[in-house]
């Protein structure tokens, strides 16, 4: 059930990002938005490189090789989802409307669904995850 629900979360995130692009609310000529989105891309790449081995699964599925707790994973448990949400919400903030906010909320909700589905699956494979989760936040260091 968690794996199936995680696929729903993935489609929510992808649909929200695609929707923002479609309505012209994903990008902005604002230097501030460009800087935030460039940071989000760099953060995403840092997390992806730190994770190492190819590991993308449409359904939440813990990969072998050990629990990753270095790089951006030292600070937050889900830096890739955080980067995607940051990228999307920078566009939403620059082109704020009811539609863009709804699409941004869809991206964030999809990310939360993915996180909540992945965590018990990862904890089942890596018992040390519970201790790691007590020491780190999901998306915002010291907050959430």
How far apart, in whole angstroms, are the C-alpha atoms of residue 35 and residue 38? 5
Region 54-64 average pLDDT: 70
What are φ and ψ of residue 67, in 5° steps? -75, 130
Please give the pLDDT value at position 141.
87
Residue 65 has pLDDT above 90, yes or no: no
User: Comparing C-alpha atoms, which of 89, 115, 128, 130 is closest to residue 10?
Assistant: 115
Structure token digits, residue 82: 């955080």
3-class DSSP state for residue 76? Answer: strand
The model's pTM: 0.93
pLDDT digits 0-9 by tens, 85-124 = 999 999 999 999 999 999 999 999 999 999 999 999 999 9
Please give the pLDDT value at position 9.
96
Please give the pLDDT value at position 63.
75
């Amino acid at each position: 059930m968690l794996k199936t629900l995680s696929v729903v979360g993935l489609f929510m995130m992808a649909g929200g990002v695609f929707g923002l692009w479609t309505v012209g609310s994903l990008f902005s000529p604002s230097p501030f938005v460009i800087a935030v989105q460039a940071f989000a891309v760099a953060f995403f790449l840092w997390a992806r490189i730190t994770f190492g081995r190819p590991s993308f699964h449409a359904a939440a599925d813990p990969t072998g090789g050990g629990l990753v707790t270095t790089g951006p994973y030292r600070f937050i448990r889900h830096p890739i989802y955080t980067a995607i949400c940051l990228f999307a919400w920078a566009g939403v903030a620059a082109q704020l409307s009811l539609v863009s906010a709804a699409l941004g909320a869809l991206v964030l909700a999809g990310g939360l669904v993915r996180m909540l589905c992945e965590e018990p699956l990862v904890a089942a494979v890596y018992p040390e995850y519970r201790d790691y989760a007590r020491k780190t936040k999901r998306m915002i260091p010291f907050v959430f």
